[in-house]
Amino acid sequence: MTDARAINDLRTRFQADLAQSSTSRELQTVRDRYLGRKGGVIATLMKEVASAPANERPALGRLANELKRDIDLAIRERRTETGVGGQATSTVDVSLPGRGAVIGSRHPLTALREQIETIFARMGFTALEGPEIEDEYHNFEALNMPRDHPARDMQDTLYLAESLEPSAAPGPHNQPRTLLRTHTSGMQIRYMEEHEPPIRIIAPGPVYRRDNLDVTHTPMFHQIEGLLVGEGVTMADLKGTLEAFLRELFDPDTKVLFRPSFFPYTEPSAEVFIGCLFCDGAGCNVCKKTGWLEILGSGMVHAAVFEAVGYDPERYTGWAFGLGIERVAMLKYRVDDIRLFYENDLRFLEQFPA
């Protein structure tokens, strides 16, 4: 038979026993005496509670459980205090090899951007970054795309809400609007406004467009802009530099094709293709049976762009290009869904050179 007083007596006895124990072994002995499964003080108490009259059982059960919990806690605390730790019943196998640290790596888009920066750095180009929130002037107007220029439709623009009023209303368009830059080309303007030729820069960074997510589109992606300006710069310089770049980026034997195109800020303009990496020019699904893959847009800087930044177009000439980093990564690594770059699935990310 047991009652509340008997349980209280056990508590007092335990406290006295604990007070006399400090070594790991002593503490373990106290623990076994009270909490041991067979014949331990608490185990015996629990049996007595079980055979107590039904009306006393819940209250006694609660007291017994509290005592059990307090004993367990008190012994743990004592071990920590005395520094004997919780190792009394477990051992450390010092012969086991240690756990290796998991080493992270750069994101494939970052690694590719750095590779491209390195190639251009060797040719004397400095890399710099600019604002992602841009104004209409730098993103469009100074690049020879006045408002209502049809070429603006090539890039679905995300405007910032606070800049939409009142100029969003029909009527004279004279209020400057802010937007998320649709391309890195505005960096040409920003740099030329602050510097005189000769210029050799590249400008990598995120750009934004009102596109829905699918296998080739994300509303945010990355571009690298290039700009070279000086006296006597010709289209042959553009061709030679971009060819050297593409052969280093892909393969020394890469075939490079320049095809006439149109951009408002270059004249003449060229789209640059490389021989298809997957069928070697024979024609496959990736190159849509053409044997060529489009890699970048480029051209000779338009005189109107030079005029916008106060350069004399009779004195200076230059060329520019822009490429999409995700597009290059997809071709180089044969990734067929752009969204994979943003899902952060380690099984995907671990496959790339760091």
Residues forming contacts to ligand DAH in the complex (CB under 6 A) are 183, 185, 225, 263, 266, 297-299, 320-322
Smallest separation, CB 281 to ligand DAH (Å):
24
Smallest separation, CB 166 to ligand DAH (Å):
29
Smallest separation, CB 209 to ligand DAH (Å):
9
- 291: alpha, beta or left, given left = phi > 0 and alpha = psi -120 to 50? left
Smallest separation, CB 204 to ligand DAH (Å):
13
Q: Which is nearer to ligand DAH, 2 or 155 (CB)?
A: 155
Burial of 100 (0-12, 13-18, 19+ CB in 10 A): exposed
Q: Which is nearer to ligand DAH, 60 or 179 (CB)?
A: 179
Q: Which is nearer to ligand DAH, 224 or 287 (CB)?
A: 224
Smallest separation, CB 109 to ligand DAH (Å):
17
Q: Extract the runs of DSSP E, i.e. beta strands, from the chain.
A: 126-127, 133-135, 158-159, 178-180, 199-208, 220-230, 256-263, 266-275, 292-301, 317-324
Q: Which is nearer to ligand DAH, 14 or 125 (CB)?
A: 125
Q: Which is nearer to ligand DAH, 30 or 189 (CB)?
A: 189
Tokens of 187: 């960096």
- How far is the first Cα of the chain from the last one, in angstroms, to the nearest whole number? 72
CA 329 to each of CA 154, 211, 352: distance values in angstroms, whole numbers, following the listed order: 23, 19, 10
Widest distance between CA atoms in the chain: 111
Smallest separation, CB 185 to ligand DAH (Å):
4
Q: Edge to edge, what strands does the sheet with 158-159 contain?
A: 133-135, 178-180, 158-159
226: how many CB neighbours lie within 10 A of its CB?
28
Enumerate residues 6+ apart whose C-beta is below 8 A from 70: 11
Smallest separation, CB 190 to ligand DAH (Å):
13
Q: Which is nearer to ligand DAH, 134 or 225 (CB)?
A: 225
Q: Which is nearer to ligand DAH, 45 or 296 (CB)?
A: 296
Mutual angle of helices 57-82 and 24-35, in 10-degree steps: 170
